[in-house]
Structures are given as C-alpha cells and as structure tokens.
Amino acid sequence: MNRKLRMGMIGGGLDAFIGAIHRLAANMDGKIELVCGALSINEEIAIKSGKALFLNEDRIYKNYEEMLEKEAALPADQRMDFVTIVTPNFAHFAPAMKALEKGFHVVIEKPITLSLEEAKQLKAKVEETGLILCLTHTYTGYPMVKEAKDLIAKGELGKIRKVFVEYRQGWLSRLSEREGNAGAAWRTDAKKSGKSGVMGDIGTHAFNLAEYISGLQVSELCADLNVVVDGRALDDDGAVLLRFNNGASGVLMATQVAAGEENNLSIRIYGEQGGIEWQQQEPNTLLVKWYDKPMEVRRAGQGYLSAIAKQNTRTPGGHPEGYLEAFANLYRNFTQTLAARMEGGSVDASVVEFPSVNEGIRGMAFIENVVRSNESGEKWVSYTI
C-alpha cells in the first residue's frame, strides 16, 4: 500500500498498561498510525489521553459507541481501517460486535470475551462480515516459538507424546486488589474477569501455546483450582491434566501466587524422537533434545531457521528480541494480511499468520471446561465447545 493503515483504539488510556504496549507494537514497523480513540470509560481520562497522543480533538471520543458511529460516517479515505480493543475482559464483546457491524476489522485482547457463548456470537459475526479479527496471544509471535511449531509440524520429533506447560507469576501473592491495584481489582472480580481468575488471565496463554506449538487440540481435561490468598474472590492458582486428540497427555500449571516469580512461561513437548524446550524469559533460545544424538541449541536470527521463524525475526543473531517484538509481529502479520486484502491480493498464510477468532473460541472453552471440571465430582470431563 502507498499509505499507513489507520488504527482506532478502544481503551488503553494513560492509566492503562496494555494500551501503551499495543501502540508501541503497532508503531514498530511504521505501517500503522493511530488516528482516533475512545481511550477510557472516564471521559476526563479519555480526553486527556487523546491529547497526550496528539490525536485531532474531533477524533477523541468519549465512548466507543460515539467513536464507531462517527468513524463509519467519515469518507473512506479518512476513517480508520481497523480498531484495537484493549479493555478489561467484560468490555470486549460489545465493542467488537459493533465494530464488525460497522465494517471495521478488529484486533482484540485475550481472552476474547467474557463467556464462550459471547465468543461463539463473535465468530458468527466475523464469518457473516468476512472481516479480519486478530487475537493478541502475544507469545505465539516469538520467532523461536514459530521454529518449535515448524519443527513439530514437519514431524521431526515423531508422534507427540507429552506436553508440559507452566505459567508462574507472583504479583498476586498478596491481596493487591484491596491495596489500590486496579489491574488486580478487575482480574479478581468475576463480573469483570469471567468465571476464572488465573486460568482466564494467564492459563489461556499457556493453553494456547500448548495447542499452537504442538499442532494438537485438547480433547479432555481434569482441573483443580485454588484460592490461595485469603479473601480473594477468584482462583489464583491451578493445575490441569490434559489429554490431546492424538492420544498424548499433558500437564498445565498456572499460578499468580508464586512469590518471587515475574513472568515465567515455559513449555516442553516430547515426541518419539526427542523434545523441545522454550522459556519466555530466555526467548531467543530453543532447546531441541534428541533421543540418539546431542542436544541442539537453536538461536533466533540464524540462517538455519525455518521460513516462519525468519519471517518473525527482526534483528541479526545475538541481538535480543523480546515481548514488544513478539507483540509487533502479530501486528505486522495482521497488517500485511489486511493490506493485501485491501489491494485484492493475499499473503502466504503458512508464514504470515496470527491468532484468530478460532483460537478465541478454544480459549473460552478452556476456561469453561476447567471450571466445570473443578466443580465436578467426576473430575475428568470431555472437552466441549
């Protein structure tokens, strides 16, 4: 295209963490410009945030309804091309549905909605409109995650037998939601976060990563959820036994009360011939362990990597790439896909890809099945959507 794609944003004002992350990621390749926003449910913060980001005052909106109505009424050469939704979980569904109804493509934070039923309705609307939806499961954007996925897809490990995925945080080790921490407050409120705390917030990331890299789907699960911190309303710790559709088994652990841990997401997958190991806190390294030969250490930025890993690598080997770059890869792949669509073309989806509404459906089903299993006397439950 001979211009930047025009982005609007719902949520993500100056008092929010994730909005700034999205803006940095979207700006990284110089292909996107933020042209409008309804940046907070607090009108004063919304206006102040828009001015701080140098938006035109007539495109700083007080709420998302006003924004979507007025943007849709603008001439095609002025209105936004897509909207990014970075609100808390309970405020995902309504703006996403309205955006699609008004003809706008959508980038949305995970989990995709507050419930599985909402996610199904959103999928139906995406299919009805033919518009593009990108779900920001950030960790799928790392080049060495792509490399692991490609290695398994090519069958180099043989049939997959075992999956271990862990996501350990410690930031909710205290009752932070009652100490003025706004992020903790909504994440531990079922009306705003959903049926599960830890599994909705970070367990969905671990689940998505396990399915994404392995290429498998969970068919059954057995879950145990815990409220560790006295006085907390939602689970802050849990473990899930997994069975996959090829017969493999797995274990998923997610906790936000592992005091001293920061953002420790790790995954190990084993097949007949060997296994892989990747950690988010050392993201440029992928360990490949073989049954009958020495372990390999594969590194980002090297010429021997797969095409999909190279597509998502930004710097030469030895230059650290991290969370922001992984996030930016989602935006780059989304915008390449959208730009090609707008010009009547297409991209090679085998290397230019990103999570969609389908991953959103599976993530919401994961949360609901985990809660159902936890509440069941039988424990093992069939995975239903």
What is the per-residue pLDDT across 184-197, written as a single tens digit (0 to 9) for each? 999 999 999 999 99
Of 346, 344, 180, 210, nearest in space to 278 by CA: 210
Would you give the distance in Å from CA 87 to the centre of its chain? 13
**207 pLDDT higher than 90:** yes
| pLDDT band at residue 384 under the 50/70/90 scheme | confident
For residue 98, the model assigns a pLDDT of: 98
- Whose tokens are 């050392």? That residue is 282
**379 pLDDT higher than 80:** no
Of 72, 112, 147, nearest in space to 326 by CA: 147
CA-CA distance, 302 to 107, in Å (whole number)? Answer: 30
What is the per-residue pLDDT across 138-176, written as a single tens digit (0 to 9) for each? 999 999 999 999 999 999 999 999 999 999 999 999 999
For residue 1, the model assigns a pLDDT of: 85
What is the per-residue pLDDT across 19-78, written as a single tens digit (0 to 9) for each? 999 999 999 999 999 999 999 999 999 999 999 999 999 999 999 999 999 999 999 999
Structural domains present in the chain = 5-131 (3.40.50.720), 142-315+360-375 (3.30.360.10)
Read off the pTM.
0.95
For residue 60, the model assigns a pLDDT of: 98
For residue 125, the model assigns a pLDDT of: 98
Of 160, 147, 163, 153, nearest in space to 298 by CA: 147
Give the Å distances, CA to CA, from 190 to 23, 182, 225, 232, 256.
Answer: 28, 14, 15, 11, 16
**380 pLDDT higher than 80:** no
Q: Is 186 exposed, middle or buried (0-12, 13-18, 19+ CB in 10 A)?
A: middle
Query: What count of Cα atoms within 13 Å lies in the side-chain half-sphere of residue 122?
Result: 33
**355 pLDDT higher than 90:** yes
For residue 31, the model assigns a pLDDT of: 97
Higher-pLDDT residue of 17, 267: 267
**242 pLDDT higher than 90:** yes
What is the per-residue pLDDT across 125-141, written as a single tens digit (0 to 9) for each? 999 999 999 999 999 99
| pLDDT band at residue 334 under the 50/70/90 scheme | very high
**362 pLDDT higher than 90:** yes
Q: What is the DSSP letter of 141?
A: G
| pLDDT band at residue 383 under the 50/70/90 scheme | confident
For residue 112, the model assigns a pLDDT of: 98
| pLDDT band at residue 268 under the 50/70/90 scheme | very high
Mean pLDDT, residues 356-370:
98
CA-CA distance, 136 to 204, in Å (whole number)? Answer: 12
For residue 378, the model assigns a pLDDT of: 81
Q: Is 89 exposed, middle or buried (0-12, 13-18, 19+ CB in 10 A)?
A: buried
